[in-house]
Amino acid sequence: MESKVAYDNDLNLKATELRLGLPGTDDREEQTLFSARNNKRPLPDTSKECGSKKKSDAQHVDNETAPPTKAQIVGWPPIRSYRKNNLQPKKSDQAEVAGIYVKVSMDGAPYLRKIDLGIYQGYPELLKALESMFKFTIGEYSEREGYKGSEYAPTYEDKDGDWMLVGDVPWDMFMSSCKRLRIMKGSEARGLGCGV
Amino acid sequence: MNYFPDEVLEHVFDFVASHRDRNAVSLVCRLWHRVERLSRQRVFVGNCYALSPEILIARFPGLKSLTLKGKPHFADFNLVPHDWGGYVQPWIEALSNSRIGLEELRLKRMVVSDESLELLSRSFANFKSLVLVSCEGFTTVGLAAIAANCRFLRELDLQENEIDDHSGHWLSCFPDSCTSLISLNFALPLETLQNILMRAPQLVDLGTGSYIHDPDSETYNKLKHTILKCKSIRNLSGFLEVAPRCLPAIYPICLNLTSLNLSYAAGIHGSELVKLIRRCAKLQRLWILDCIGDKGLEVVASTCKELQELRVFPSDVLGVGHAAVTENGLVAISAGCPKLHSLLYFCQQMTNAALIVVAKNCPNFIRFRLCILEPTKPDPVTMQPLDDGFGAIVQSCKHLRRLSLSGLLTDRVFLYIGMYAEQLEMLSVAFAGDSDKGMLYVLNGCKKLRKLEIRDCPYGDKALLTDVGKYETMRSLWMSSCEVTLGGCKTLAKEMPRLNVEIINEHDQMEIGSEEQRVEKMYLYRTLVGPRKDAPEFVWTL
C-alpha cells in the first residue's frame, strides 16, 4: 500500500512538471507498469487530476507510444497459452527461420564451415555467400542441366538423407529440408547434372 | 397432470432436449421431477464443485452423457494458479463404481490424468465420445488407452489441451477398421493422417497437425487421393504448420466444409487464406487469424453467406502491430453475413460508429465478444469511450446471451447493459468503469445473469455486498485486481452460507489478515456441498 502511494505521488509531481514533450512520454517504464492500474483506480486525493488526466490524454498517448504495456499485463490479451505458444515462434518469417545453422563442406577443403540459412532471402544470396566463403565460382543454374560453367556444384542433404542439387525446390522448402551443404567438385559434380 | 401414466410423460419429455428446459420441467411437481430425473440421459454440470458425483448419480441413474466444467474461465489466461483444482478423477471413480452406463464425457478446464483416462476406457463398455477442451494433466499414454479399449468410439475431440507427450504412436492403438469413428479432432501428423483416413473414410470431423510436405512426394500424393474419398468431411481444423503449396490437396473437400479452423496456421499468408476460403461457400463456422486482414474479411463476407460463427484471433500478440484487422473488417462481415450470431473478434481498434452499424446489421447476435488489443483504448476517431457502441449492441441484440467488453469504457456502458441486456447470461469485463455503480447496474438489471467475471476494475465492497442474494441465482462471480477487501469477502461468506467464497492467496498477502486489505483474486460460486476438500494451500474458502 505504502509503496503504491509513493509511486502515485511521484507520477503526480511529474504530471505537473513543466517540460517539453508530450505528457506521458517520459519514464515509460514506470508508467507502463502502472498505467493500466492507475487508469482504473485513482486515489482519493489525486483522483480528479491524476485519474482523468491519465485516462484522457496521458493514457492514450502512453498507450500509443508504449507498446510494452501489453506484454506486462498478466493474462492479456485474453488468449489461451496453447495459442500463444503456437504463435510465438511463427511471429514473422524472419523470426521463424533465424538460427538455422547447417554445416558446409567443400571437397578438398581442410575444415567445414557453418552458415545460418535464415539470414538469406533466397538462392542468389546464399550462393554468393558460399562463393565468397570458399573462394570459388558457381556456374549458371538451369533446371535441365544443373550448374553449368564451373567444376563445382552446390548440393545438400535433405531430410530423407538424399543428396540433392541446390536450387531445384522453392526456397522455403529448401530451408526446411536442408540438413547440410556440400560443395561437390570435379567428376562427382558433373555426375549430378544431366551430362555436361 | 396425474392422468397420464409415467411412460407417456416420459415420452413427452423426450422431446424436451435442452438441459435448461428439462431443469424447468423437473420443478413443476414431484411427479414430473421423478419422471424427468429417471429418464434424463444428458446432464450438464457447469461447475464441478457445485455438487458431488454421488448426488449426480443418485438423481440421474439413466445418465449417458455428462458435461463437466472445472476451473473458472479466466484460468485460460493464466490468472488461476496451476493446482487450483478441477480434478475429474473422483467423478470417473464414482461413475465407474456405479451402474451408470456412461457413453459420453465432455470436459472443459479440468485436470485429467492418464489414470483417469485408463479407468474411463475400462469402465464403460459402450463408451462412444470423449471431448476434452482446455484440459491438462494427461499424456498420449492415456489417449492410447482410449484408442485401444473403447471399441465403439465415435468421437475423439481434443481442443487446446496441454498434452505432455506428442508422439504419434498412440494413434496406432486404433483398430484397423474404425468404422464407428466419425470425429477425430486433434493435431494429427500428416503421415498418420493418411493412415487414419484410410481406416475411417466416413470421418466427418478432422483435425490435422503439421501440414508440411513436399507436394511431389508419395505420401502427399496418397493423401490427395485418400482425401478425395472422404466426401463426408464437414469440419476441418489444425494446420499447425503449413506449406501453402500443399493446400490444394484439400480443395476438393472445401465445397462441403461447414466448419474450418485455421487459427493455428500462422504460416499461411493472407492471400493463400483467401484463395482457400473462396472455395468454402457453405461455411457456417470459421476460426481464423487476423493476418487475413480487413480485405480478407471482405472476401469472407462475400463468399460465406451461411456463416454463423466467426472467430478472429490475434497473430501478433506482443508487437506494436502491423494493423491486422480493424472495425472495417467487422462492418464488412456484419453486412455480408446475415446469419452471424456468434463472434469473437480481436482487433487493433474499434469505433462507436462501426459498432452502431454492426448492431443494426446483425440484431441476432447471441455471443458478442470484442477484444481491442490495447486495454482502455478509446474510439480513435472521436477519442470517446465505447459506451455508445456497446450500448447499441445490447439494445439491438435482444437475444444476446454472452458479452465481452474492451476498450475505454465508463459506468455508462453498464447502465445500458443493465437496461437492455435482458437475456444476458455471461459478462466479461476488464479495465472498465469508474465506480461501484457500474457493477451494480449489471447486478440489478440483468435478471438472467449466470456468470460475471471482472478484472482490473474499480469495484469494491459496496458493489459486492449490495445484493448478496443475487449470487445464489448465478453460477459464479470472479473478481481480480479490483477493490474488494478481505473484510467484504468475509461478510459475504457469512451472510451466504450456500456460497463458496474462495480467495486465491498467491503471495501470502493475507497472513496479517487485515480486513481492509485488498483481495487480489476472489472466486465465488453457489454449491450444494460446502467448501471443497481438495483446495490447495493458497486457496482459502472463507
- Whole-angstrom Cα distance, residue B329 to residue B314? 14
A63–B455 CB contact, under 8 Å: no
Residue with cell 461413475: B95
Element (H, E) at B402: strand B402-404
**Rounded to whole angstroms, how far apart are CA atoms A25 and B356?**
33
- Residue A99 to residues A125, B18, B263, B493: CA-CA distances in angstroms? 16, 54, 26, 55
Residue B537 burial (C-beta neighbours within 10 Å; 0-12, 13-18, 19+): exposed
Residue B250 to chain A, least CA–CA distance (Å): 19
Distances (CA, A) of B464 to A41, A97, B482: 17, 51, 11
Query: Who among A60, A67, A82 is closest to B320 (CB)?
Result: A67
Q: Which of B160, B318, B371 lies at the smallest CB-CB distance from A80?
A: B160
CA-nearest residue of chain A to B347? A77
Tens of pLDDT, residues A133-154? 888 888 888 877 788 888 888 9
Enumerate helices (H) and strands (E) in chain B, giving the number of each: 19, 22
> In this structure, how many other beta carbons lie within 10 angstroms of the beta carbon of residue B357?
18
Q: Which residue type sits at A124?
A: P
- Stronger pLDDT, A159 or B466, i.e. the higher one: B466
Amino acid B44: pLDDT: 95
Q: Which residues contact B92 (CB under 8 A, 6 or more apart)?
A: B116, B119, B120, B123
Q: Which of B383, B384, B339 is nearest to B361 (CA)?
A: B339
Could you give the 3-state DSSP secondary structure of residue B458? coil
pLDDT at B185: 73
A97/chain B closest Cα distance in angstroms:
12
In order along chain B (542 residues), what is the average pLDDT of each group of 10 residues?
79 89 91 92 96 96 97 95 94 96 97 96 95 92 91 88 72 70 69 71 73 68 76 76 74 88 80 89 94 93 97 76 82 96 96 97 97 94 97 98 97 97 97 96 97 96 95 96 94 95 77 79 96 91 88
Tell me the one-letter amino acid at B210: S
Residue at B176: amino acid letter: D
pLDDT at B513: 64
Asked if residue B164 lies in contact with residue B137, where contact means CB atoms within 8 angstroms, the answer is: no
DSSP state of B157: E
Partner-chain contact A86 B316, CB within 8 Å: no
B11: which 3 cell numbers? 415420452
Q: What is the pLDDT of residue B208?
A: 74
Contacts of A157 (CB under 8 A, 6+ apart): A163, A164, A178, A179, A180, A182
- What pLDDT is recorded for position B165? 67
SS3 category, B470 = helix
In this prediction, residue A68 carries a pLDDT of 42
Min Cα distance B219 → chain A (Å) is 13
- Of the candidates B525, B539, B515, which has an alpha carbon nearest to the alpha carbon of residue B461? B515
* Contact assignment for B243 to A83 by CB distance below 8 Å: no
**Residue B65 DSSP class:** E
The answer to whether the CB of B422 falls within 8 A of the CB of B448 is yes
Contact list in B for residue A176 (CB cut-off 8 A) is: 212, 243
- Return the closest-CA partner of residue B244 out of A159, A173, A168, A179: A173
Q: Which of B170, B9, B200, B78 is nearest to A74 (CA)?
A: B78
Query: Please, are residues B382 and B410 in contact by the beta-carbon 8 Å criterion?
Result: no
Our measurement of the distance from residue B66's CA atom to the centroid of its chain's CA atoms, rounded to an integer in Å, reads: 16
Mean of pLDDT values over A159-164: 86
Distances in whole angstroms, Cα of residue A45 to Cα of each of A3, A9, A51, A55: 16, 10, 10, 16
Among A76, A156, A162, most B C-beta atoms within 10 A, so best to mutate, is A76
User: What's the confidence (pLDDT) of residue B60?
Assistant: 95
Q: Which of A25-39, A84-98, A166-180, B508-522 has the lowest mean pLDDT?
A: A25-39
A30 is written with which cell numbers?
514506470
Pairwise CA distance, residues A179 & A174, whole Å: 9
Residue B103 to residue B523: CA distance in whole angstroms: 32
Q: Which residues of B touch A2 (CB under 8 A)?
A: none
Q: 490447495: which residue's cell? A: B536
Rounded to an integer, what distance in angstroms lies between the CA atom of residue A108 and that of residue B396?
A: 77
β-pairing verdict for A101-106 and A113-116? antiparallel
Would you call B377 and A86 a contact, using CB atoms and an 8 Å cutoff?
no
Q: How far apart are CA A23 and CA A64, in angstroms?
A: 12
Name the amino acid, one letter, at B52. S
DSSP line for B219-286: HHHHHHHHHHH-TT--EEE--SEE-GGGGGGGHHHHTT-SEEE-TT-TTS-HHHHHHHHTT-TT-SEE
Q: How many Å apart are CA A152 and CA A163, to the nearest integer?
A: 15
Q: How far apart are CA B257 and CA B252, in angstroms?
A: 10
d(CA B468, CA B444): 11
Whether residue B316 contacts residue B296, with contact meaning beta carbons closer than 8 Å, is answered with no
pLDDT at position A91 over 60: no
- CA dist A106 and B141 (Å) reads 46
pLDDT given for residue A30 in this prediction: 39
CB contact A25 to B (< 8 Å): no
Q: What is the distance of C-alpha B199 from the center of its chain?
A: 31
Please compute, for residue B63, the number of CA atoms within 13 A of its CA located in the half-sphere on the CB side: 27
CB contact under 8 A, B162 and A82: yes
**Better-predicted residue by pLDDT, A47 or B364:** B364
- Per-chain mean pLDDT for chain A: 66
Cα of A72 vs its chain's centroid, Å: 20
- Is residue A93 predicted with pLDDT exceeding 50? no
Asked if residue A47 has pLDDT above 50, the reply is no
Report residue A64 as a C-alpha cell: 500509443
Give the one of B243, B375, B383 whose C-beta lies nearest to A76's C-beta. B375
Beta bridge partners of B370: B345
Q: Is the peptide bond before A77 cis (omega within 30 degrees of 0)?
A: yes
pLDDT on residue A32: 38
Task: Quote ipTM for the complex.
Answer: 0.84
Q: With an 8 Å Cβ cutoff, are A73 and B375 in contact?
A: yes
CA quadruple B314, B319, B320, B322: dihedral positive or negative?
Answer: negative
Which residues of chain B make contact with A81, given a CB cutoff of 8 A? 78, 162
Q: How far apart are CA A18 and CA B390, in angstroms?
A: 38
Residue with more model confidence, A98 or B202: B202
CB contact under 8 Å between B77 and A90, yes or no, is: no
pLDDT: is A117 or B443 the higher one? B443
* Alpha-carbon distances of A10 from A4, A6, A28, A56, A170, rounded to whole Å: 10, 6, 13, 19, 57
